[in-house]
Amino acid sequence: MSDPSPVKPTITPVETPVAPSEPPIVAPRASEPPPPPPPPRREPPQTIVDKAIKVTQAYAEYVWADVKVLFAEIKPSFVKFGLKQRNFLIGLVVFILFLIWLF
């Protein structure tokens, strides 16, 4: 009880598309002038936000310089005073935490 007919494939073969070949890159002839360079890229205009960022950064540098000078001038007197006072360091830490909390 065998079937004499040959087995036929149930899946049809799929033809893969062939991409068109890219044209070859040819160097310009010696008689042709070289192509002009691309125009320089324009910088985008400055917005108010850009200006505000620059001003804030400059002000932060200014304030940081002041803080460093004040720390250098005040630190010795703080240490001298702190050695005399009993709870000075605890109060100083609480004061600094209070300042951080404010900002």
pLDDT above 60 for 6 = yes
Q: Which two tokens stand for residue 8?
A: 């036929």
Q: Which two tokens stand for residue 76?
A: 């010795």
Torsion of CA 75, 81, 86, 91, to 10 degrees: -50
pLDDT in tens, 30-88: 777 877 888 888 888 889 999 999 999 999 999 999 888 888 887 777 777 777 776 77
Neighbouring CB atoms inside 10 A of 82's CB total: 14
Q: Which two tokens stand for residue 101?
A: 């909390």
pLDDT at 13: 65
pLDDT above 80 for 2 = no
Question: Alpha helices of 1-103 — where are they, by DSSP H?
Answer: 48-84, 88-102
pLDDT above 60 for 14 = yes
**Cα gap 58→87, rounded to integer Å:** 37
Q: Between the CA of residue 74 and those of 18, 65, 66, 71, 99, what are the distances in Å?
A: 79, 14, 12, 5, 17
User: Could you identify the residue written with the tokens 């830490």?
Assistant: 93
Where do the domains of the chain lie?
Answer: 48-102
pLDDT above 80 for 8 = no
**Cα gap 9→2, rounded to integer Å:** 18
